[in-house]
Structures are given as C-alpha cells and as structure tokens.
Amino acid sequence: MTGEQTEKSAEQPNQHHKPFLSLLTQKETDPLPSSPPVWMMRQAGRYLPEYREVRKQAGGFLNLCYNPELAAEVTIQPIRRYGFDAAILFSDILVVPDALGQSVRFETGEGPRLDPLANAADLARLDPSNTDKIFSHVYETVDRIKSELPDETTLIGFCGAPFTVATYMVAGRGTPDQAPARMMAYRDRDSFQKLIDMLVDTSIDYLRGQIDAGAEVVQVFDSWASVLSDDEFDQWCLEPMVRICNGLRQYHPQVPIIGFPRAVGPLYRRYVEKTGVNAVGCDTSLPLEWMRDELQPLTVVQGNLDPILLLNGGPQLEQRVKRIIETLSGGRHIFNLGHGIIKETPPEHVAQLVEYIRAAAG
C-alpha cells in the first residue's frame, strides 16, 4: 500500500499543484475541486493584442509555429493574463501535412492553402519517413514552454484527428461541408484509407514526441467529424481514434487523452465508450443535461460555452456560466468553450468569464 503510494508520487511530482491534470487523473470517487479547472480552445490568438504583436514580428503564421522562442511566448501569454489552469501548445493541426511534404501556406485573411490531394499518385508523393525535420521545432517549443510555465499550469499537446486533417489535405483548403474528402472516401476508398492510416501513424509519433518533450495531456481535434453519416463516422473518425489511443497508451499509459469529435450529437456516447478517452470536448449544441446523464458517468466532460456568448458578454454570459457549472458540478467537468474563441472577442470578456467561473463555484 505504502509502496504503491510512494511510487505514484515519485512518478507524478507536483501533480497536487495542478488542478487540471489532477481532475483528469483522479478516480471518479475522489473529491471534486471547488471550481472546475478552466482553459479555452484557441486561447492564444488574434483577440490578444500581445499575440498580434508577436505575430507581426514572426512574419508568416507557420514561421510563428516553427519558431520555438516566439511560439512559447504566445503559448504563455494567455496564462499570464488570465491564470488558466492549462496552456495549449501554440501550433496548428496543419503542421502534419506540412511535415509529410504537402506544403501549407496561410494567406492573410484567407485561411490555409495546400495543393489538393486528388488521387493515389498525389498520395504516393507524401513522405512519412522524414517528418521529424519539422516536428523537432515543435518539440523544442514544448521543451521551452515547460521550463517557463508556472508549476500549477498543465501543458496540453495536440494534433488534428486524421479525418479532419485529411479534409484540408484533399480539398487544399477549408470548405463549408468538406465534400471533397467525403467524395474521395466514397469514390476511392482504398486511397482514402491509406491516407487515414498514414495520418494515424504520424499522429501517434507526433503526440509521442510532444509527450517526450514535456506535454502532460494531449487533445485530438476532430472538428469536422459531424459531416459524416454514422457508418462513415465509425470508419473514419472512431476507428482511427481507437488506434491513436491504443498506440499512444503503449508508450504513455498515464497521459490523459482528450477527444473532441465536434458536433456529433448522440455519437458522442459511442465515441467515449469505444475510445476510452479520459475527457471529451463537448461542442455548444450538446444539451447540458445530456452531457451530465450520458457522458459524465463515463468520462470527464469539457465545454461547452458558446463562443458567440463570450463575444457578446454581459449578464447572459454570467447566467449561462452559472447554469453550466450548476448542471455539471455533480461530476468531473473542465470549463471550456464549445469551439475556439472568436478573434473579435474583447479580452475583458475573458477576464470576466474567469471571474464568473470562480465565483459561481463559490
């Protein structure tokens, strides 16, 4: 008994100082914190003047992602301002195609551009054997963040889920419904399967590298999962995520994995059951009572404030924060948005949000 405890504390130093990591690793029956740990998707970004300043200095967006000093700086900016319980590595999900040799460009005001991947010949040009040239910049960033981050702040690493990354690789850009990837999945199933398989293996390597460099939790963003039918969801989102979780757990069984299959409605339950994720990111449309009754008994729920309400601010924001916390306070809950923060959001609203969260819980 004593031996077991000693071993555990030796393995996880400082864990009791880290409310976010503790919640993710504690047993369901352990006492809950007085207020939910909080962080926000896209918490480092254009709504912050100090981010815009560094972004200018870096030149292009990917230059910022690959500059460990500047990427570490923008990761820590929102922690300094708001004291969030977690920092998320500053990078992008499209670093993975870039590392595979499908170069990515970010044109001002237009979002990402890649040369579209249309067929087996395009696929054959990707090179999964040489990704570390790019990934090593990210690992160096993680290492730097780790040495600068306050002890109580948990560092989250991340990648995009294979399907979501594939939608950008196939279309060469964001589209309203990601039809090009869905078409390829029907028309040339073998090629699409090969692409997904390559992304599964690369994602495992990449997350493993981030953890080796110091990431304490990882999140997998499947922002486009909701465009698929249930059968296609099983094949392109669920099954690959099961493989990522199993693959990663072979190397790092203790590191919590957060899944974010955005806006998949009732499929959330199957996703949690099959993958065994340690927490699940819930989008804004998921009813709070459903999260409480269907998901919270299975895992930690994370979410799900409407980013538009944060942009708006005011009394409605305070009321909704209270209702989210009250509904989910009987189980394990991480406060977050239902999707990324919107760039027009006044930074004062975020400060107010953090105050409301801490006050609502008393």
Question: Which single residue is written with the structure tokens 């590595």?
Answer: 89
Given 47, 66, 82, 168, the catalytic residue: 168
State the nearest-atom distance from the C-beta of 20 to ligand CP3, in Å. 15
Q: Does the annotation mark 46 as catalytic?
A: yes
Any idea what the Cα angle at residue 266 is, between residues 264 and 269, rounded to 5°? 100
Tokens of 48: 């912050």
Cβ at position 209, least distance to ligand CP3 in Å: 16
Contact in structure between 70 and 58 (CB atoms under 8 Å): yes
Active site annotation includes 168: yes
43 binds ligand CP3 (CB under 6 A): yes
Task: Tell me whether residue 211 or residue 360 sits nearer to ligand CP3 (CB atom).
Answer: 211
What DSSP letter does each residue of 127-166 carry, written as one string? -TTSTHHHHHHHHHHHHHHHHHS-TTPEEEEEEE-HHHHH
Pick from 24, 79, 86, 88 the residue near ligand CP3 by CB under 6 A.
Answer: 88
Check if 139 is active-site.
no
Per rule CB under 6 A, count of chain residues that contact ligand CP3 = 22
Select from 20, 158, 163, 356 the one that contacts ligand CP3 (CB under 6 A): 158
- What distance in Å separates the CA atoms of residue 38 and residue 102, rounded to the nearest whole number? 35
Near ligand CP3 in 162-181, by CB under 6 A: 174
In a 10 Å sphere around its CB, with 0-12 CB exposed, 13-18 middle and 19+ buried, how is residue 6 labelled?
Answer: exposed
Count of positions (residues) in the chain: 362
Active site residue 42: yes
| DSSP β-ladder status, 104-107 and 111-114 | antiparallel
Q: How far is the CB of 202 from ligand CP3 (least distance, A)?
A: 16
The residues pairing with 72 across neighbouring beta strands, listed in sequence order, are: none
The stretch near ligand CP3 (CB under 6 A) out of 29-37, 39-47, 188-196, 225-233 is: 39-47
Q: Does 92 bind ligand CP3 (CB under 6 A)?
A: yes
**Residue 105 interacting with ligand CP3 (CB under 6 A):** no
Is 94 an interacting residue with respect to ligand CP3 (CB under 6 A)? yes
Catalytic, out of 47, 51, 55, 283: 55
Q: Which member of 116, 128, 247, 340 binds ligand CP3 (CB under 6 A)?
A: 340
In the complex with ligand CP3, which residue's Cβ is closer, 161 or 360?
A: 161
Q: What is the pattern of x (binds ligand CP3, CB under 6 A) and - over residues 197-216? A: --------------------
307 binding ligand CP3? (CB under 6 A): no
Which residue is closest to ligand CP3 by CB?
Answer: 223
The span of 12-20, 37-45, 190-198, 227-235 binding ligand CP3 (CB under 6 A) equals: 37-45
Contacts 24+ apart (CB under 8 A), 169-176: 169/97, 169/102, 169/114, 169/116, 169/117, 169/195, 170/116, 170/117, 170/118, 170/195, 171/116, 172/113, 172/114, 172/115, 172/116, 172/117, 173/111, 173/112, 173/113, 173/114, 174/111, 174/112
Q: Residues 305, 321: contact at Cβ < 8 Å?
A: yes
Q: What is the CA radius of gyration of the chain?
A: 20
Nearer to ligand CP3 (CB atom), residue 160 or residue 331: 160
Q: Which helix (H) or strand (E) covers residue 23, if one does?
A: helix 19-25
Minimum Å gap between C-beta 165 and ligand CP3 is 8
Counting beta carbons within 10 angstroms of the beta carbon of residue 344, is it exposed (0 to 12), middle (13 to 18) or buried (19 or more)? exposed
CA dist 50 and 247 (Å) reads 38
Is 61 among the residues that bind ligand CP3 (CB under 6 A)?
Answer: yes
For the bound state, the minimum distance from the C-beta of residue 41 to ligand CP3, rounded and expressed in Å, comes to: 5
Q: Binding to ligand CP3 by residue 302, rule CB under 6 A?
A: no
Catalytic sites, residue numbers: 42, 46, 55, 92, 168
